[in-house]
Amino acid sequence: MKILVTGGTGYIGSHTVVELQAKGYEVIIVDNLSNSSIEVLDNIARISGKKPLFEKFDLTDPEKTAAFFKLHNDIQAVIHFAAFKAVGESVEFPLMYYRNNLISLINILQGMVDNNIRDLVFSSSCTVYGQPEQLPAREDTPVQKAASPYGNTKQVCEEIITDTSITANIRGILLRYFNPIGAHESAFIGELPLGVPNCLMPYITQTAIGKRPFLRVWGDDYDTPDGTAIRDYLHVVDLAKAHVIAVERMTGGNCKEKVEVFNLGTGKGMSVLEVINSFERSTGVKLNYEIMERRAGDIVKVWADTDYANKELGWKAEKTLDEMTSSAWKWELALAKKK
Ligand code: NAD
Ligand code: WQD
């Protein structure tokens, strides 16, 4: 079975390709390499023994996307990762975010409709919940007005897929990821943040390796047990495996509705200080950090209710926080060796 993975040389996409290959799927990646590197293909092959098919083009280009789907109309399902994802950047360049994230999805759906490809797995985000009134966040927890253009692209993309599925022969599984961190245990693939990272995990590993002088902990006066903000961190390999299950569910005809939504997290909230402690414990490396004022736009706490994903998908995040932080460190060390 041939699966199209858009954004497959990116962070979550590359881990998903490896898991798909392990289950015998043939993978074709489309990526314009705007936030990833071509070397990822060789690194995937170092793990799986097989280099995925690859085409480099921009999915916002309607002609190229249509031509691709016409040529590859034997694709069984699409996993759509390709998008811009930096929240702060989306505030600065909203049109760039709306153009990239919405138009690429529209072009993909058109290609699917025109070539009778039914099944789409879409990368959504916990960001659609904002700060939920009740925790843990369930799939039917009301979506809140997006706090950023990036978050809004995820909400609108969910709606585009839902609306399209009403009249077209399209089915969607919308996966709302919480906070994916960590890297493949081989340390051949991992997250490659461009410039100064915004996210916690790459900032921690870059500080520990000496690229950054210290980590700024954004606020310790929140209403949480240790005062720092709480998120639901999950291992990227666990997250990748959920995509394979979603594809199996769709292609096996086991979906209960045309569009289904699943939270993907561990179901456990961890504070910033707990992540730092885990990093120090699992790696033996001491981290330089300072407590700062709160970061604008941050929510206090969020974690997932994963019951529906656990029961319906038969998926459960298995890896511990220590496995997440130690694998992220192993990846940072591997990156340092390459330079
Ligand atoms: P990433 O940037 O590592 O991967 C995205 C890939 O898509 C990159 O390789 C990039 O080159 C490619 N791409 C972007 N626009 C493209 C276009 N127009 N045409 C072709 N290729 C294009 O990001 P990631 O962390 O792997 O995230 C994957 C998806 O998951 C994104 O949709 C993101 O919004 C979503 N998501 C990520 C997180 C997270 O914390 N990483 C959390 C929730 C949701
Ligand atoms: C986690 C915690 C920070 C950096 C982002 C996106 C969201 C979704 C998931 C894609 C927060 C604290 C961080 C640092 C810190 N992505 N922190 N010092 O904000 O939960 O969500 O990723 O859909 O849309 O916004 O992730 O990793 O930035 O922050 O103290 O240098 O770590 O304040 O409490 P966040 P994050």
User: DSSP letters along 241-307, please?
Assistant: HHHHHHHHHHHTT--SSSEEEEEES-S--EEHHHHHHHHHHHH-----EEEEPPPTT--SB--B--H
Ligand 2 geometric centre to CA of 87 (Å): 9
DSSP 52: P
**Ligand 2 mutation pick, 143, 158, 179, max ligand atoms within 8 A of CB:** 179
Cα radius of gyration rounded to whole Å, the chain: 19
Cis peptide before 136 (omega within 30 of 0): yes
Distance CA 6, CA 51 (A): 15
For the Cβ of 147 lying below 6 angstroms from any atom of ligand 2, the answer is no
Q: The tokens 């529906």 sit on which residue?
A: 308
Distance CA 310, CA 308 (A): 5
Q: Are 104 and 82 in contact (CB under 8 A)?
A: yes
Distance CA 288, CA 276 (A): 10
For the Cβ of 291 lying below 6 angstroms from any atom of ligand 2, the answer is no
pLDDT, tens digit only, all 339 positions of the chain: 999 999 999 999 999 999 999 999 999 999 999 999 999 999 999 999 999 999 999 999 999 999 999 999 999 999 999 999 999 999 999 999 999 999 999 999 999 999 999 999 999 999 999 999 999 999 999 999 999 999 999 999 999 999 999 999 999 999 999 999 999 999 999 999 888 999 999 999 999 999 999 999 999 999 999 999 999 999 999 999 999 999 999 999 999 999 999 999 999 999 999 999 999 999 999 999 999 999 999 999 999 999 999 999 999 999 999 999 999 999 999 999 987
Secondary structure (3-state) at 178: coil
Give the start-end residues of each E strand in the chain: 2-6, 26-30, 53-55, 75-80, 119-125, 171-177, 179-181, 215-218, 230-231, 233-235, 259-264, 270-271, 289-292
Q: Are 200 and 228 in contact (CB under 8 A)?
A: no
For the Cβ of 212 lying below 6 angstroms from any atom of ligand 2, the answer is no
Choosing from 150, 177, 222, 233, the catalytic residue is: 150
Positions of CATH 3.40.50.720 in the chain: 2-181+234-264
Q: Cβ < 6 Å from ligand 1: which residues?
A: 7, 9-13, 30-36, 58-60, 81-83, 85, 100, 104, 123, 125, 177, 179-180
Buried b (16+ CB within 10 A) or exposed e, 9-23: bbbbbbbbbbbbbee
Positions of CATH 3.90.25.10 in the chain: 200-231+267-338
* Distance from the first to the final alpha carbon of the chain: 38
pTM of the shown model: 0.98
Q: Are 273 and 287 in contact (CB under 8 A)?
A: no
Q: At what angle do helices 236-251 and 11-22 cross, to 10 degrees?
A: 60
Distance CA 142, CA 315 (A): 23
> Per the CATH hierarchy, to which homologous superfamily does domain 200-231+267-338 belong?
UDP-galactose 4-epimerase, domain 1 (3.90.25.10)
- The one-letter code for the residue type at 25 is Y
Architecture of domain 2-181+234-264: 3-Layer(aba) Sandwich (3.40)
- pLDDT by residue (tens digit) across 225-255? 999 999 999 999 999 999 999 999 999 999 9
Q: The tokens 């200080």 sit on which residue?
A: 273
Residue with CA at minimum distance from ligand 1 atom 28: 81
**Ligand 2 mutation pick, 12, 129, 199, 264, max ligand atoms within 8 A of CB:** 199
Annotation marks residue 150 as catalytic: yes
